[in-house]
Amino acid sequence: MKDFSEFENKIGITFKDKALLRVAFTHRSFLNENRGSGNQHNERLEFLGDAVVELAVTDYLYKKFPDRDEGALTSFRAALVNAVTLSDLASKLSMNDYLLLSKGESKDVGRARQFILANTFEAFVGALFLDQGMEACISFLETHLYPLTDGIVEGRLWQDAKSYFQERAQDEVSLTPSYRLIRENGPDHDKQFTIGVYIGSELVAEGDGKSKQEAEQSAARKALEKKGWS
């Protein structure tokens, strides 16, 4: 049995409703193997938390960058709340240690785990919103997510990677990159896509995302790094 009090101590937040915290960490696969557990999976909380994170981050960026236009703010937000950023942050907060997964999912520590962690981060925020309200969520995000903003902006990690990779590929090798769907996983309401970016017949890199567009951006970012064109 997971001891979520350890997690509460680590992040300095004590839940009034402990059941909410447990649900936030419960993946659908866990219930398939533990049907009599009385648990719920975290997808409804993820839905709520996604909206809370987006609103909070939008408000934060709007106030932090008063001279930036809507396009730039949208790009900053996308870089701050994408699956890669949120899964990395979830890992740093040791959320991986408290996941309730099926035995099969527990063995997969690759891309699928990245999405599970990002979704769990959002589910946790949804649970915190229900337990303690918006101010508690903002305080949590101020401590853990907002500090990543300056690095993202200064490192231009918000940039449209697809457009930039196309420019560099045309300059360097006189070819236009192409993108192909490699695979898709998950139910219709929670699809995960893997896209490959090619220069000619060469597969340069693969990227993942909750949409094909997000996966293409991820593939382009990885391709820029691989080619040394960042």
pLDDT of 85-113, one tens digit each?
999 999 999 999 999 998 877 776 666 78
Residue 108 neighbours by CB distance under 10 Å: 13
User: What is the residue-level pLDDT of the chain in tens, covering all 230 positions?
Assistant: 678 999 999 999 999 999 999 999 999 988 877 776 667 999 999 999 999 999 999 999 999 999 999 988 988 998 899 888 999 999 999 999 999 998 877 776 666 788 899 999 999 999 999 999 999 999 999 999 999 999 888 866 677 788 889 989 999 999 999 999 999 988 877 788 999 999 999 999 999 988 898 899 889 989 998 998 86
Q: Is the pTM of this model over 0.75?
A: no
Q: Are 48 and 121 in contact (CB under 8 A)?
A: no
Active site residue 50: yes
Task: Kindly report, residue by residue over 129-168, the tens digit of the pLDDT.
Answer: 999 999 999 999 999 999 999 988 886 667 778 888 998 9
Q: Which domains occur in the chain, in start order?
A: 4-154 (1.10.1520.10), 161-227 (3.30.160.20)
Structure tokens at 205: 């890199």
Angstrom distances, CA of residue 230 to CA of 50, 78, 91, 163, 170: 29, 19, 25, 12, 15
Active site residue 122: yes
Distance CA 142, CA 134 (A): 12
Q: Which of 122, 131, 208, 214 is catalytic?
A: 122
Q: Which of 17, 33, 46, 50 is catalytic?
A: 50
